[in-house]
Amino acid sequence: MSKDGAPKSGGLALRVFIFFYFSTIGLSLPYLPLLFRQNGLSSLQIGILFSMGPMVTIAIQPLWGFLSDRFKTVKKLIILQLIVTAILSFVVFRVTNFELLLPTLFVFNVFAFPIIPLMDSLALSSIKNSRGTHYGSFRLWGSLGFGFSALLFGLFFRTHDLLLFPICYSLLLILCLCTSFFLQDSVYAGRKACLNDIKRLASSRKVFTFLLLTALLSSTNRANDAFIGIFIKQLGGQSDTVGYAWTVAALSEVPVLALGGMLLARFSELKLLTVAAGVFVLRWTLLGITPDPGLIILIQLIHSLSFGLFFLCSVSYMSKLAPDRLRSTAQGMLAAFLGGVAGIAGSVLGGAIMSGLGARILYLICALVALAACFFYYFRAKNEEGEVRRQETE
């Protein structure tokens, strides 16, 4: 038992669950675009398909978060989502026609995409109910799961056809489902959330501007997610090169996430987000000029100080902007912008740019967008510091 009386096994089960669920992402994110390409889809069509999830996130994710806060349960919703996702996965990844893929992938994403924010809500709940833990100590298991999966399936698909993708995905989801029954549900204090709570949170200028800024920077990362595998192939790389690139990126997050508690105790989230945006500028610029797929693997090492730091600080800052009773709702709103708005912009616009101008121009445009985000974060951090000083002198 922990000091507060909560079973330690709950934290262990959550870490194992996070590992397995991010393993499914380590399979789908690098190799689903390659499967779509093998099935004859264009970069623009792939971008549109990848925007299905973000579209769902914008419309559905806040609703899932509200249902969780309203009925004071996260675990039961995750189990429901996993069951439906597992059933649909046997069908959706076997469809090869673009017109049929649009509606089937849309329905699939209604249940698949909301799992991560609810998972984050469980982690944040666990942090509040136990000492000596921080969000990064949970999230790093996602990086390990993603990296392990990306590497394993990169080697696997070098000698096996990508048509085996649906079977691999379904098996990983079954492991997630088995683990989910051992999760410890969130502990909610006080009254249930109501619709007026959501309206007040959504109408907060501080919350809304932060979400827009987060979406701006995240859109560059979403474009990279959708097309880096294709870019590596264009440069002459193989499936295992794609796997290595994703594995290095995921595993590079581990040190940042492990030290996340110390970093957040010493620096404000907005200062760290400024640093992350600056590293994104460097990363996209290097990818835009690299001539060799092997160099991409080395460039992926700075994924830790770009996306890893960005995601960690975004989740932490959003949790401070919302009361505990709206924990899941707040993370759902963050996901709607970080994955939804950003995903549509990154996937659709990224696909159009890549089809018309090529991958190098896409990455250089991403670098300019990240530079703009870096300045915005910097000035917001300065303004917030000024507000704190004024409050201290009053």
pLDDT in tens, 21-47: 999 998 988 888 888 888 888 877 887
Q: Is residue 394 part of a domain?
A: no
**What amino acid occupies position 101?**
L
Give 217's pLDDT tier (boundaries 50, 70, 90): very high
Q: Residue 88 has which token pair?
A: 């649909």
Given pLDDT bands bounded at 50, 70 and 90, which one contains residue 188? low
| Whole-angstrom distance, CA of residue 119 vs CA of residue 125 | 10
Q: How many other β-carbons are positioned within 10 Å of the β-carbon of residue 43?
A: 23
Q: Dihedral (C-alpha) 89, 92, 96, 97: value to the nearest 10 degrees?
A: -170
Asked, for residue 3, whether it belongs to a domain, the answer is no
Task: Report pLDDT for 193.
Answer: 55
pLDDT of residue 126: 77
Maximum alpha-carbon separation in the chain: 68
3-state secondary structure of 74: coil
Instruction: Please give the model's pTM, rounded to 2 decimal places.
Output: 0.76
Does 9 have pLDDT greater than 60? no
Q: How confident is the model at residue 5 (pLDDT cuts 50, 70, 90)?
A: very low
Q: How far apart are CA 271 and CA 101, in angstroms?
A: 41
Report yes or no on 389 lying in a domain: no
Q: What is the pLDDT of residues 98-128, one digit of tens each?
A: 899 888 888 898 898 888 888 888 887 777 6
Q: Is 135 in contact with 123 (CB distance < 8 Å)?
A: yes
Transcribe 104-172 into DSSP letters.
Answer: HHHHHHHHHTTHHHHHHHHHHHHHHTSSS--HHHHHHHHHHHHHHHHHHHHHHHHHS-GGGHHHHHHHH
Share of the chain above pLDDT 70, in %: 90
Residue 7 has pLDDT above 50, yes or no: no
Which residue matches tokens 């951090």? 381
pLDDT of residue 194: 56
Higher pLDDT among residues 343 and 223, named by residue: 223
Is residue 13 in a domain? yes
Higher pLDDT, 57 or 17: 17
Tokens of 221: 């990362």
Burial of 5 per CB tally in 10 Å (0-12, 13-18, 19+)? exposed
d(CA 117, CA 335): 6
| pLDDT band with cut points at 50, 70 and 90 for residue 391 | low
The pLDDT of residue 1: 40
Q: Which residue has the higher pLDDT, 191 or 226?
A: 226
Q: How many separate domains does the chain show? A: 1
User: Residue 254: which domain range?
Assistant: 8-183+204-384
- Would residue 189 count as lying in a domain? no
Is residue 92 scored above 70 in pLDDT? yes
Evaluate whether residue 1 is within a structural domain. Answer: no
Question: From CA 337, how far away is CA 343, in angstroms rounded?
Answer: 8
Question: What confidence score (pLDDT) does residue 58 get?
Answer: 74
Count of C-beta atoms within a 10 Å radius of residue 87: 14
Q: How far apart are CA 392 and CA 131, in angstroms?
A: 29
CA 147, CA 270: separation in Å to the nearest integer? Answer: 28
Residue 172 belongs to domain with CATH number: 1.20.1250.20
Q: Which of 48-52, 91-95, 367-371 has the lowest mean pLDDT?
A: 48-52
